[in-house]
Amino acid sequence: MKQYNVGIIGATGMVGQRFATILENHPWFNVKVLAASARSAGKTYKEAVGDRWAMPVPMPKTMENIIIMDAEADIEKIAGMVDFVFCAVNLTKEETKKLEEKYAKAECPVVSNNSANRHTPDVPMVIPEINADHIKIIDAQRKRLGTKRGFVAVKSNCSLQSYVPALYPLDEEFGVEDVLVCTYQAISGAGKTFDTWPEMIDNVIPYIGGEEEKSEKEPLKIWGKVEGNEIIPATKPHFTAQCLRVAVTDGHMAAVFVRFKNKPSKEQILEKWESFKGKAQELDLPSAPKQFLYYFNEDNLPQTKLQRNLEGGMAISCGRLREDTQYDYKFVCLSHNTLRGAAGGAVLLAELLCAEGYMD
Ligand code: NAP
């Protein structure tokens, strides 16, 4: 397989650190550029991160002495050094959108973790197992931007990456109508650890800014259709969400209630989950889990600590499927928020884009 030189924009942050660790031994991608704010630029990666390293494994030795570039001032230079960049920065929406478009216009594709471009109509927001076909909108985006290679592609918010994968395979045959979901989200989703956010020890905070809106709105774009120069969001299923921050390092759990047009049996749901495969599995992408959806029969599973790292943190764990008194069924599902939900999901999307020729 062809090799690609890549950059990590926001390399010093929580998601950036995840990118660094999962790209260390990637079979297709070689990290050539690490970039962050002007505060970090000019320092080595090790110096710039300092005591902020939050990964369970050490910083890759090969990256420790890479000099951090300035993500805003060095765009042209970076674009000349890499085939594409991953981006995860904590700027405002407007600043992020501007930054990502500048990279795209410098003919450097951007695979982004940021939310700024998620609802730009010609920017694909992709979970490769579900809506891989949305990447064809990139042709229209390139026309708008006036680029030959450059474009922006995004992954969705981390909270929905547990329940959307579980609901999507049920929709075609049974029609998913109404979904009520409560998410229990890890502190790494806020870029934090218990050291940097001690208030979270032994605590639950019933508010995550903007998260409930994202959890309700983003699935509709994923369910949407490419028409002409845009992705038209679906109008169904209807989602309502409550998102809570809980005292967990990594792993977002969701409690889901669902109503169908044609109510399936429990066995039919389990069969759909078991057999579901998407483009990521068909193309055998390096980061794709062999089995996307796992079901656990034990009443006390899945548990965040036990299942979050399943298949390298890229698989979704489901459990407790049972009938409900008001909806048709209820169940729980779990995904790793900084792997499947952030850096891992973006790496999988980049693999899809490479395999389909968009990075050449
Ligand atoms: P973070 O830990 O606060 O890291 C932010 C990164 O942005 C750092 O590398 C920082 O560099 C860089 N940065 C700040 N100002 C910059 C500037 N002016 N120019 C260039 N780079 C700048 O944040 P995070 O948790 O990694 O999140 C990053 C993005 O990913 C956010 O958009 C977030 O919403 C999204 N996201 C996060 C998660 C998650 O689970 N954490 C999941 C999905 C999506 P310095 O070190 O130099 O300040």
Residue 287 has pLDDT above 90, yes or no: yes
Q: In this predicted model, what pLDDT tens digit does every residue of 161-220 receive, in sequence order? A: 999 999 999 999 999 999 999 999 999 999 899 999 999 999 999 999 999 999 999 999
Of the residues 158, 318, 333, 354, only one is catalytic, namely: 158
What phi-psi label fits residue 210: left (phi over 0), alpha (psi between -120 and 50 degrees) or beta? Answer: left
Strand-pairing partners, residue 125, are 154
Cβ of 188 less than 6 Å from ligand 1: yes
Indicate which residue's Cα is closest to atom 34 of ligand 1: 114
Ligand 1 proximity of 193 Cβ (cutoff 6 Å): no
CA distances from 266 to 71, 211, 270, 291 (A): 50, 30, 6, 20
pLDDT tens track for 341-350: 999 999 999 9
Half-sphere exposure of 67 (CA within 13 A, CB side): 6
pLDDT for 352 equals 98
Instruction: Please give the share of the chain, as a percent, with pLDDT higher than 90.
Output: 98
Distance, in Å, from the CA atom of 253 to the CA atom of 186, rounded to the nearest integer, reads 9
Question: In testing the pocket of ligand 1, which one of 9, 12, 15, 337 has its CB within 8 Å of the most ligand atoms?
Answer: 15
Tokens of 88: 């995860």
Is the shortest distance between the CB of 36 and ligand 1 below 6 Å? yes
Q: pLDDT tens digits, residue range 241-256? A: 999 999 999 999 999 9
Cα–Cα–Cα angle for 129, 294, 26, nearest 5°? 55
158 among known catalytic residues: yes
Q: Is the CB of 219 under 6 A from ligand 1?
A: no
Whole-number average pLDDT of the chain: 97
Q: How far apart are CA 262 and CA 264, in angstroms?
A: 6
For 266, other C-beta atoms within 10 Å of its C-beta total 12
User: 26, 134, 252, 336: which is the annotated catalytic residue?
Assistant: 252
Q: Assess whether pLDDT exceeds 90 at residue 259.
A: yes
**Residue 49, ligand 1, Cβ within 6 A:** no
The question of whether 252 is a catalytic residue gets the answer yes
State pLDDT tens for residues 76-104: 999 999 999 999 999 999 999 999 999 99
Q: Which residues touch 271 (CB under 8 Å, ≥6 apart)?
A: none
Residue with the nearest Cα to atom 48 of ligand 1? 37
The reply to whether omega before 109 is within 30° of 0 (cis) is: no
> Which phi and psi (to 5°) does residue 133 adopt?
-65, -15
Instruction: Say how far apart CA 59 and CA 302 lie, in whole Å.
Output: 29
- Which tens digit of pLDDT belongs to each residue from 313-339? 999 999 999 999 999 999 999 999 999
Place of tokens 């169904």: 236
Task: Evaluate if residue 1 carries a pLDDT over 90.
Answer: no
Summarize the chain as % helix, strand, coil (round to 5). 35, 25, 40
Band (pLDDT 50/70/90 cuts) for residue 114 is: very high
Say whether pLDDT at 58 is over 90.
yes
Length of the chain: 360
